[in-house]
Structure 1
């Protein structure tokens, strides 16, 4: 009898230990994610928010850069105070740019007002522009300070111009956002120096090189190359940039509309985008349909 009571007491003790020590996860509550996945998810959310509000982010960055240039040029003591915080911010956004440059999402942004399906705006361009604004503002401030002291030389100005032009190009590219666009009339890719327009009648054939892992360009061949239009200095004469979209996803979409001209007129609508996703092969990633960035 005493042995039975001892056994029962032992079971109760273990039950109490289990209830007090083991933290059971409630039904329906997601399991804890690995730290690497959590960090990746946080960076993804930050990138999405940055792209969605990139105009505000870039304007704020420009204001901070202007304040830093004024401080370096007219108040060197204040410029020294701002130096290390701005260096830290610049390095942080440059690291985010390096991480984000390897992301190749497989989805389009629906632009019904154009109408078009556009490749998503790359967050890494925004981060890169912000990262270069800091050093550029410091250079401008140093040039202003040298000019006020009467020790500025022509070489300082000449060497500073290419740097400012580079930062301006990065800023404009980040502000514009989208790269390639599919419209009812064809494919268009533009950047700050030019554009490439390929009508569907040119019958573009986009192919990803075998074995290529996340390629940054998608080469196209044209059955009717005389119909392809180029303005200014295009980024490429026969390739699309895929540093902001999955190249295989973009190639599959182009191939679909080349083979199915009856669906081209609906490009740019939510209904057509849903139909396109249902027709294309499985995607490696993506976001909600009709995501507007």
Structure 2
């Protein structure tokens, strides 16, 4: 059940996030301009916040051994992490309450520098979480290499760099896949570092992703077909036969 909810949330994450932003906007208006309505909304929003945060923790453990074929890119991408959507939704409630309280204080002429700084910090954090959840697919295997994106940067590894993926020994569900490169000078890094030598695997089975990378490093003749459903079926068959 949780897996189906997570998959649907990830698939329709844009709609879910927009609805969350809409509810947050209503809460800002209620807290800032209609205190009685804000008090009515407080308990339901608190329960909803707790529920989605619990769902985010549960969804972190869902890491299927699969990729998504994106022929329009083209790429094989890790599934969009539903836990990030739940996590972003969980922070929208407190952030909207903080903004609403600031609006109410401004109307009453009692805004302090501390309140303003706190609210701006909330908004910056929530903006990063929403953008990260909105973007979806973090790791992509493309015909020309591996692309890992996060909200503040990216890591691009051409196949010519001969990447080797290492799963931490005795790790049950590793959230990162460490890599080494035979040709490190070919690797391109931009923005702020999440990790310059690792891929996030909090939405995919790390061993499956490592096997897929290893397959394309060793079989360059199949790279051009990456992104197609036919190639994905062939990849699954090849990995199953190993």
State whether TM-score is above 0.5.
yes
Q: Indicate which of 150, 154, 163 corresponds to 1:204.
A: 163
Q: Indicate which of 93, 97, 103 corresponds to 2:62.
A: 103
Q: Which residue of 2 aligns with 1:276?
A: 235
Q: Which residue of 2 aligns with 1:171?
A: 130
Counterpart-to-counterpart distance in 2, 1:247 and 1:185:
21
Q: Rg bigger for which structure?
A: 1
Contact 1:190 1:234 (8 Å CA) reproduced = no
Q: Runs of at least 4 residues of structure 1 off by over 6 A?
A: none
SS in 1 for 2:213: helix
Question: Are 2:47 and 1:60 equivalent residues in the alignment?
Answer: no
Aligned CA distance change for structure 1 residues 174 and 271 (closer, same or farther; 3 Å) = same
Q: Indicate which of 113, 118, 121 corresponds to 1:159.
A: 118
Q: Which residue of 2 aligns with 1:45?
A: 4
Q: Which residue of 2 aligns with 1:22?
A: none
Counterpart-to-counterpart distance in 2, 1:183 and 1:238:
18
Deviation at 1:218, TM superposition (A): 0.3
Deviation at 1:163, TM superposition (A): 1.6
TM normalised by structure 2 equals 0.98
Q: Deviations over 1:130-171 (max 9, x none)?
A: 111000000000011011111111111112222211111110
Question: Are 2:232 and 1:259 equivalent residues in the alignment?
Answer: no
Deviation at 1:282, TM superposition (A): 7.8
* Count of residues paired in the alignment: 242
Counterparts of 1:1-293 in structure 2 under 5 Å? 42-281=1-240
User: Mind listing any 5+ residue stretches in structure 1 that lack a counterpart?
Assistant: 1-41, 284-293
Q: Deviations over 1:160-214 (max 9, x none)?
A: 2222111111100111110100000000001110100000000000010110110
Counterpart-to-counterpart distance in 1, 2:98 and 2:62:
32
Aligned CA RMSD, in angstroms, stands at 1.1
TM normalised by structure 1 equals 0.81
Contact 2:3 2:62 (8 Å CA) reproduced = no
Counterpart-to-counterpart distance in 1, 2:77 and 2:188:
19
Counterpart-to-counterpart distance in 2, 1:92 and 1:282:
41
Deviation at 1:234, TM superposition (A): 3.3
Counterpart-to-counterpart distance in 1, 2:225 and 2:6:
30
Counterpart-to-counterpart distance in 1, 2:189 and 2:144:
15
Q: Deviations over 1:71-99 (max 9, x none)?
A: 00000010000000111111111111010
Counterpart-to-counterpart distance in 2, 1:282 and 1:135:
50
Q: Deviations over 1:26-65 (max 9, x none)?
A: xxxxxxxxxxxxxxxx111111111111111110110000
